[in-house]
Amino acid sequence: MTARFIVLEGIEGTGKSTHAAYLADWLAKQGQPAVAAREPGGTPLGERLRALLLDPGISPMPPQAEALLMFAARSASISEVILPALASGAWVVCDRFVESSYAYQAYGRGVPIEQVRALDRQIVGKLRPDLTVILDAPPELGLARKAGPEKKDRFEQESLKFFERVRQGYLQRAREGGGRYIVVDASRKLAEVRKDLVTAVGQLLGHKASRDN
Ligand code: TMP
């Protein structure tokens, strides 16, 4: 069985991290070793960049600088985590990948999409997820789920309008992206969302040949 690369995407509060951890566990139980990754982060460089990127004290951060730092973190994640895991035969379940850069930096911040595309070509190249799941929910709901006593990070401090642009960006990319994207309604209960995810990943497990081209 060839290892597969699965990405979970979505705005804040859609349950990505919880679902990513669950899926990695579920795959292991099916006899498929799986590595959980996250962006920005997951490597020494990525975690340092993540701290900078989320720090509300660094404001304003020019949107293009933000895009470059996201791709810098991604470059380390690809070479140090994703490619070695896939080469060793492990599946990779990644909490965010390049679609976050399209949704947040292009649609959210207004970085020209061509610039994000150019970075995508340069840094990600031919590496494409076998499946990108967009966990979709209204920003009001996502942000309410995230609300807590902790200080909000630089992104969580953004307006509902910002997150609505990000959400619409994801949906647009999924429409343009074809069969390797699915949109899952994440406004439902965790267990219901999980069921859909397991079904989608289960299909990937069972129908390897159709995804090998
Ligand atoms: P989170 O993964 O804990 O949600 O936090 C990461 C934040 O970084 C989140 O607000 C989305 C943002 N982000 C981007 O803006 N562009 C990217 O390419 C990535 C990977 C994350």
Mutate to test the pocket of ligand 1, among 7, 75, 104, 167 (most ligand atoms within 8 A of CB): 104
Mean pLDDT within 168-190 = 96
Segment 51-80 shows an average pLDDT of 97
Q: How far is the CA of 3 from the centre of ligand 1 (A)?
A: 25
State the CB neighbour count (10 A cutoff) for residue 123. 18
Looking at residues 19-30, what average pLDDT do you find? Answer: 96
140 Cα distance to chain centroid: 20
Cα separation, 31 vs 119, in Å, equals 35
Tens-place pLDDT, residues 117-135: 999 999 999 999 999 999 9
HSE at residue 126, side-chain half, CA atoms within 13 A, is: 0
- The total of other beta-carbon atoms located within 10 Å of residue 30's CB is 14
Q: Is the pLDDT of residue 207 over 60?
A: no
Cβ burial 176-192 (10 Å sphere, 16+ → b, else e): eeeeebbbbebeeeeee
Query: So what's the pLDDT on residue 1?
Result: 62
What is the value of pTM for the model shown?
0.95
Q: How far is the CA of 118 from the centre of ligand 1 (A)?
A: 19
Dig out the tokens for 4 from the structure.
């597969």
209 Cβ contact list (under 8 Å, min separation 6): none
Rounded-to-10 torsion of CA 19, 54, 41, 96: 40
The confidence band for 99, taking pLDDT boundaries of 50, 70 and 90, is: very high
Does residue 15 carry a pLDDT above 70? yes
Cα dihedral value 209, 75, 123, 184, nearest 10: 50
Ligand 1 atom at minimal distance to the Cα of residue 155: 10
